[in-house]
Chain A
Amino acid sequence: MSRVSTSRFSTELVRSCTDLVVLALLRNRPMYGYEILVNLADRGNGEFEFQQGTLYPLLYRLEREGWIAGSWETPTTGKRRKIYSLTAEGQKAERARSKEWTRFTRAVESILEECNHE
């Protein structure tokens, strides 16, 4: 489902880490949908650009899992927005996935390095 520019990353690769990157973004502060997309693009060095329409199913799935919670808020200056924040369960999931991802990437890097030296 996650569509990111295929010239950058493969769909399978992006799909494997979309949950993690969104949870990691929301760990710092609550955000609304569009804000999440902009932050993903900015912090991912422009390599991580989701199509806007792919974001909502992802957010609703994370919401259904209980990892994020959405609430409508109307700031004094600005538009009414649905703001997503990380739940306690989401924080645990984010920590667990983050550790898992680090272990995974280190393992892959290790294999690649070994193979390159052979």
Chain B
Amino acid sequence: MNESMTKSTHSRIEDFLATLRTALNGAGGRPDDIVEEVRADLIDLIDRHRSQGASDEEAVSRALQSMGDPHELAHHVRREVPPFGGLVASTIRYALAGVVIIWTLLFLWNFRALSYGAAGLATTIGVALFHLPVVLLLWPRMVWRKNWLFGLIPAGIAFVVALFLAGGGVTGTGHDPLDSQISHSLSSAMSSGVAGPEQVPLDSPPAIVEPEGPSLPAILAFGAAVLASGVLLVAMQQVRQRRWVIVAALIPILLVEIPFQIEESFFRREVEKARAHPENGGNLNWGRPLYPSAFLYLSADGRIRVQD
């Protein structure tokens, strides 16, 4: 602060800045930055008025008048500064988003290995669609609009509802939702005990137990909730950030779905070979190279199953 200023003018400036700081109410985690920026400009403005012949009191009065009411200024600033955008909050949000991305990919990898073909693609899309909103919410400066409707609270409620419905829809029946999975341990069925990408004849093929999937209303409720929360969050996004939705959606496709699709194309070749030689029994048991504990199983009646 200018040394020539009187105590009262200095005090008026500090009062203004203190009121502003309080009214900013955390504003995106950077109220100190904002107050310091205002302080620097305020002093310039005061100096300018003084250089034009105003007294200290007049210069401060005119400068403060130009700044307006600190509460109103804080109100307008808060509308423009996204919440939780400070350095510490942003770092935590980046870290959490990274954890969610890694966890989603690992979860998806394990889940995808237990499905096949179109069901596998549906699994990838389902898991990605469900986790994408979480990443969007966590990533700083990605989702935010100043309309109250697009605040964090409605988004959080939408997400919790989706989570609740997802939990009820997927686990409500107590069964794995994958209809391609056989609830039978391969190891107990295989007499040879050999597992690998090569054909392994089975002395006694595993019994096929059709798992009971989630009910249709549960699936519809889950789909609707995920879609609604996804649409809400995309609508909340900064327009220029929307391309990252496409990038985020492509990551699981590129890192999980495509490798499994390539792997399955190799399995289909083995299936063709097995079908060309029905005299060998027509069975095929093929360990997944990408997930050694899962097997793709071609039964004699031509059905393809995945088993763990």
The interface of chain A, by Cβ under 8 A from chain B, is 1, 3, 32-34, 37-38, 51-54, 56-58, 60-61, 64-66, 72, 79-82, 89
Interface residues of B (CB under 8 A from A): 33-34, 36-38, 40-45, 48, 63, 66-69, 72-73, 76-77, 79-82, 141, 144, 238, 240
Please tell me if the beta carbons of A1 and B76 are within 8 angstroms of each other in the complex.
yes
- Extra A-B contacts (11), CB below 8 Å, given A51-B68, A52-B42, A56-B76: A33-B40, A34-B44, A52-B63, A52-B67, A53-B72, A54-B76, A64-B81, A65-B240, A79-B43, A80-B36, A81-B40
Contacts of A58 in B (CB 8 A): 80
A interface secondary structure, majority: helix
Q: How far is the CB of B74 from chain A (nearest CB, A)?
A: 10
Q: Give the tally of cross-chain contacts (CB within 8 A).
A: 68
Would you give the shortest CB distance from B239 to chain A, in whole angstroms?
8
Q: How far does the Cβ of B296 sit from chain A's closest Cβ, in whole Å?
A: 47
Question: B146: shortest Cβ distance to chain A, in Å?
Answer: 9
The CA-CA distance from A77 to B40 in the complex, in Å, is: 14
Please tell me if the beta carbons of B45 and A34 are within 8 angstroms of each other in the complex.
Answer: yes
A52 touches B240 (CB 8 A): no
Contact A64 B82, CB 8 Å, known A52-B63, A53-B66: yes
Of all chain B residues, which has the CB nearest A49?
Answer: B66
B45 touches A60 (CB 8 A): no
What are the 8 closest A-B residue pairs judged by CB atoms, nearest first?
A53-B68, A34-B41, A57-B76, A60-B80, A52-B66, A53-B67, A34-B44, A61-B80
What residue of chain B has the Cβ atom nearest to residue A79's Cβ?
B40
A72 to B141, CA, bound (A): 20
27 A-B residue pairs with CB within 8 Å? A32-B40, A34-B44, A34-B45, A51-B67, A52-B67, A53-B66, A53-B67, A54-B68, A56-B37, A56-B38, A56-B76, A57-B79, A57-B80, A58-B80, A60-B77, A60-B81, A61-B80, A64-B80, A64-B81, A64-B82, A64-B141, A65-B240, A66-B240, A79-B43, A81-B40, A82-B33, A89-B240
